Amino acid sequence: MTFLLAKIKRKTNLLKVLSSEDDIYTYSDDDKYKLPTLDNSIEYNPATLLEDEQWYKYEKFSASEYIIDFLTNDFDSVNYSQIEKDSLNKIAYLCSIQGNVYYFQIISSSLVIRGKWFSLDVLEIETNRPIITINKYADVIFDKSNDVLYFKRLSNANSIFKGMDQLYREATETETATFLSNDFLSMKNNFNEKLVNVPNRKRIASVVDTLRKYPDDKKKQILTYIQGYNLVPFVNNSFEIDSEESLKLVLYGLEQRLFTTEIDKEQKIANSTIDIHVRK
Amino acid sequence: MREKKKMNFIYRLFLAINSTYLIIVVYLVKKDYYFNFLENYAHYFSWLIFILTPIVLTAISFLVLKFLSSDSLNKKSVVEVELANNSFLPTYLGYFFVSLSIDNIPTLCIVFIIIYVFTFLSQTLYFNPIFLLFNYNFYFIKTTNNVRIFLITKKLLRKPGEDDFEKLKRINNYTFIDIEKIKK
């Protein structure tokens, strides 16, 4: 038995939408709504970009601070009231409960069809009967038996589990300003913290923590390492930052993403990295 | 979905009729009404038909159940079980006294409509004692989420955590009926 629940904006309790004998997200190949391959998933790390079929995973999710009661309690549909028609306009996300697996789908306005429509079976125009379409893949999946949360985008997981974006937060304007005022950076062309965009702010947030832990000699070592790649002019003991691009390259350097291939000695930048021990 | 909702509404109207219909039966018996085609027989035959009518209607109501929305409840989630089989008695005694003291049909109609409307709106009071004849029992159940529901089931519950309820049907958000056949 599959139950479809809905979370209404600004309400804590979920509501029951429907129950069905058929799974909403299924395994069979001919079904459009098939399950993604979750085996191909990697521990969440902002430094790693996903391939098409890959998912991020968060293991032991029930022990994390982001878990919600709805997932820890045993699921009993009798605890949830039936959704009323006027709430259907205010759905934040849907959750399909299929055995021990919870499939979440964020409801954006693009999934709600308010205009006229007709079904391919019954060729009649329907008006004022808005419908909600269900995506091929769920946005976030929680496998309760293994206690693992799967997601493709942290922002989606964050809209269900508030605070998860702390896993990969952006640096605030003050933090950005503090970072840019480091001795090893000098601003050129009036470049300042106000011009730093979101991806670079995220990189700053994660670099700042690592940098703080470094002893002085290690800091010196990493600066020499970045200079070695000659990507950003290094004048008077500081990198000259004149654009987002040069800032990004220095940040990549601080994350040690600049490397030379072992055999061919080609210089490269890793825009996505995976720890080798995690992969195993 | 729309059909299902309509079905649920009709079913609830129907249940409310079944649980209040006895008022009319008691009145008809008291006033010594009988069917014309049975006038040559003892009035008991007519009264038997009056009494059988709500029973047959209740039997029909079981056929509509499969159109209602399904639900489930784990045995682990039941924290409290309270038998409610007898809680209809005070209400019913009330109904009986009312119908015994009514003198004419118009008063009966008004009283019946008032009781019917409030039974329907009260939602938690679909006590239909005729369900007892079909081996159903009434329980108040409290779940781990602190939700209290009214459950109509053939199972005999004595303490929490003995039975799973996998085939419940939702009559309203507080009232559920179990359609699972009991294993003997």
Beta partners for residue A38, in sequence order = none
- Asked if A96 and A140 touch (Cβ cutoff 8 Å), the reply is no
Specify whether the CB–CB gap between A221 and A184 falls below 8 A: no
Distance (Å) from the C-alpha of residue A69 to the closest C-alpha of chain B? 10
Lowest mean pLDDT among A57-61, A267-271, B34-38, B52-56: B34-38
A97 pLDDT band (50/70/90 cuts)? very high
- The reported pLDDT for the residue numbered A181 is 87
Taking residues B14-39, report their average pLDDT: 85
Q: How many CB pairs under 8 A join A and B?
A: 50
Residues of chain B with Cβ-Cβ distance to A75 below 8 Å are 74
pLDDT of A104: 94
Residue from the list A19, A73, A74 with its beta carbon closest to the beta carbon of B71: A19
CB contact residues (below 8 A), chain A span 60-79, against chain B = 73-79
- pLDDT-derived band at A7 (thresholds 50, 70, 90) equals very high
Nearest chain B alpha carbon to A13? B145
How confident is the model over B125-172, as pLDDT tens digits?
A: 566 788 888 889 899 999 988 888 999 999 888 888 888 888 899 888
Residue A270 has pLDDT above 80, yes or no: yes
- Asked if pLDDT for residue A34 goes beyond 70, the answer is no
Distance (Å, whole) CA A55 – CA A141: 10
CB contact (8 A) between residue B168 and residue A18: no
Query: Which of chain B's residues have a Cβ under 8 Å away from the Cβ of A19?
Result: 69-71
User: Rounded mean pLDDT of B54-64?
Assistant: 86
Q: Return the half-sphere exposure (C-beta side, CA atoms, 13 A cut-off) of residue A137.
A: 16
pLDDT of residue A28: 56
Tell me the nearest-neighbour CA distance from A122 into chain B, angstroms. Answer: 16
| C-alpha distance from B49 to closest chain A C-alpha (Å) | 38
Give which of A109, A87, A119 is closest to A5, Cα–Cα: A87
A84 touches chain B (CB under 8 A): no
CB contact under 8 A, B70 and A19: yes
- Nearest Cβ partner for B71 among A73, A74, A77: A77
B1, B70, B72: residue with CB nearest A76: B72
Q: Do B72 and A73 touch (CB under 8 A)?
A: no
Report the chain B residue with the minimal C-alpha distance to residue A129: B2
What value does the mean pLDDT take over residues A194-198? 85
Give the distance from residue A86's alpha carbon to the nearest chain B alpha carbon, in angstroms: 14
Mean pLDDT (chain B, rounded): 85
Do residues B27 and B108 lie in contact, with contact meaning Cβ atoms separated by under 8 Å? Answer: yes
Q: Which of A21, A71, A78 to mutate to test the interface with B (most CBs of B within 10 A)?
A: A78
User: Using 50, 70 and 90 to split pLDDT, how confident is the model at A140?
Assistant: very high
Which one, of B124, B138, B127, lies nearest residue B83 by Cα?
A: B138
Residue A148 CB neighbours (<10 A): 18
pLDDT of res. A102 = 92
Is-contact A269 A257, C-beta < 8 A?
yes
- pTM of the full predicted structure? 0.78
Q: Is the Cβ–Cβ distance between A246 and A240 less than 8 Å?
A: yes
CA pair distance B126, B120, nearest whole angstrom: 8
The tokens for B68 are 């209602």
Cβ contacts (< 8 Å) between B1 and chain A: which residues? 18
Q: Tell which residue, A277, A252, A270, A206, has the closest CA to residue A46.
A: A206
Two tokens, residue A218: 């290690």
Which residue of B1, B73, B76 is in closest CB contact with A78? B73
Q: Where are the alpha helices (DSSP H) in chain A?
A: 69-72, 154-160, 173-180, 198-213, 216-228, 244-254, 276-279
List of E strands, chain A: 2-8, 14-20, 41-43, 55-59, 91-98, 101-106, 112-113, 131-132, 140-143, 148-151, 185-187, 234-235, 238-241, 258-260, 267-269
**Interchain pair A18, B1: CB under 8 A:** yes
Instruction: Name the DSSP class of A50.
Output: P
pLDDT for A277 beyond 80: no
Looking at the complex, report in whole angstroms how far the Cα of residue A171 sits from the nearest Cα belonging to chain B.
39
pLDDT of residue B31: 86
Task: Give the residue with greater pLDDT, A227 vs B88.
Answer: A227
Q: What pLDDT score was predicted for residue A88? A: 82
**Residue-level pLDDT at B184:** 56
Q: Residue A96 — very low, low, confident or very high, per pLDDT cuts 50/70/90? A: very high
B140, B82 Cβ separation under 8 angstroms: yes
Residue B148: which H helix or E strand, with range?
Answer: strand B148-153
CA distance B145 to chain A (A): 7
Per-residue pLDDT band for B4 (boundaries 50, 70, 90) equals low
- Which residues on chain B are in Cβ contact (under 8 Å) with A79? 77, 143, 145, 147
Return the pLDDT at B125: 55
CB-closest option in A1, A74, A81 to B77: A74
| Among the listed residues A279, A277, A221, A275, the one whose alpha carbon sits nearest the alpha carbon of residue A253 | A221
Q: How many other C-beta atoms are found inside a 10 Å radius of the C-beta of residue A2?
A: 18
A73–B145: do the CB atoms touch at under 8 Å? yes
Average pLDDT over residues B5-27: 83
Say whether B70 and A79 touch across the interface (CB within 8 A): no
Q: Do residues B51 and B34 lie in contact, with contact meaning Cβ atoms separated by under 8 Å?
A: no
Instruction: Decide if A78 and B149 are in contact by the 8 Å CB cutoff.
Output: yes
**Average pLDDT of chain A?**
85
Question: Looking at residue B123, what is its pLDDT?
Answer: 67
A20: nearest Cα among A8, A38, A3, A37 = A3
pLDDT-derived band at A275, boundaries 50, 70, 90: confident
pLDDT in tens, A177-193: 888 888 888 888 888 88
